[in-house]
Amino acid sequence: MPKKINLSTIVAIFALIFLYLPITAVVGLSFNTSSNSLIWKGFGFDWYKNIWSNEAIVQGFQRTLFVAIVTTILSLVIGTTISIGLNKMKAGGFLRTFSTAPAIVPDLVLAIGLLTTFSMFSFNLSLLTVIIAHTAFCTAFVVAVVLARIGLIDPSIEEASTDLGASATKTLFKITIPQLMPSLTAGAVLSFTLSMDEFVIAFFTNGPETPTLPMVIYSMIRFGVTPEINVLGTLLLLVSFVGVIFAQRIGKVADSI
């Protein structure tokens, strides 16, 4: 019997092409040896080597990495604390929604709000303000992920730890956090990748002397798409990809516990 191809299959295939064509273009063209990214001259890793001599890119990359790492740590600590607190006080939907809202508030609104707040307290815009800004919305993602899991933990497990003589701190680190591990990993990967390629909020809250990588790319792109940009895009993609795979691995290991 010949395989029937129905309309939904066709739509699905087109949708996939539509989704992945731009990504394929970026990755493919990053291997172009030509200095004009749209004219194919040959396959090579030339730009992968050249890119490291561009100081603006290297520094931008370092700043982005720094911001992403600090943001991830801060969001994890704050987000987990909020989740544990909300769970303990059996907070209702209102508080829960409020603590996850920054994740869905439009970036632009958040960016303007943060900028206003920083100027109100006459903060100098710098990487520090970017970190604060990123932590604000990444925390919301961590809360969303951790809160979903923490409710599933049997509350008697923490009571058992207390009953067996453990201090509150020991219970937190030996009992509660190990059980939250899968969602903490997911929250960390989310925060890291979101912060890595975040542009709008960084653009508003960063000082002029310390552009992050997306801001560097933005200023480069005004003169046309260069192969360097394709290389950067591919590298960012790789980082996110590795992050997601890593998270899945950890998640699987943790779920088997």
Partner 1 sequence: MLSVKNLTKKFGSVTALNNISLEIKNNEMFALLGPSGCGKTTLLRIIAGFESPDSGEVLINDSDLLSIPTRIRPVNLMFQSYALFPHMDVYSNIAYGLTNTDLSKSEIEKQTYEIIEKIGLIEHVKKKPNQLSGGQQQRVALARAIARKPKLLLLDEPLSALDKKIRQEMQTELKRIQHEVGITFIIVTHDQEEAISLANTIAVFNKGEIKQISTPQELYENPQNEFVADFIGEGNILSAEVTSSGVIHPSLGSIKNSENKMAGNKVKLLIRPENITLEKNSNGSGIIQDVVFAGSKKNVTVQLSSNEIIRVYADKALDLEVGSKVNILFKPEDVRLF
Binding site for partner 1 (CB under 8 A): 154, 156-157, 159-167, 170, 175, 178-179, 257
Of 122 and 156, nearer to partner 1 (C-beta) is 156
Of 68 and 180, nearer to partner 1 (C-beta) is 180
Q: How far is the CB of 154 from partner 1 (least distance, A)?
A: 6
Of 39 and 257, nearer to partner 1 (C-beta) is 257
Q: How far is the CB of 178 from partner 1 (least distance, A)?
A: 5
Of 72 and 171, nearer to partner 1 (C-beta) is 171
3-state secondary structure the chain: CCCCCCHHHHHHHHHHHHHHHHHHHHHHHCCECCCCCCCCCCECCHHHHHHHHCHHHHHHHHHHHHHHHHHHHHHHHHHHHHHHHHHHCCCCHHHHHHHHHHHCCCHHHHHHHHHHHHHHCCCCCCHHHHHHHHHHHHHHHHHHHHHHHHCCCCHHHHHHHHHCCCCHHHHHHHHHHHHHHHHHHHHHHHHHHHHHCCCHHHHHHCCCCCCCHHHHHHHHHCCCCCHHHHHHHHHHHHHHHHHHHHHHHHHHHHHCC
Q: How far is the CB of 91 from partner 1 (least distance, A)?
A: 19
Q: How far is the CB of 167 from partner 1 (least distance, A)?
A: 7
Of 41 and 249, nearer to partner 1 (C-beta) is 249
Q: How far is the CB of 86 from partner 1 (least distance, A)?
A: 21
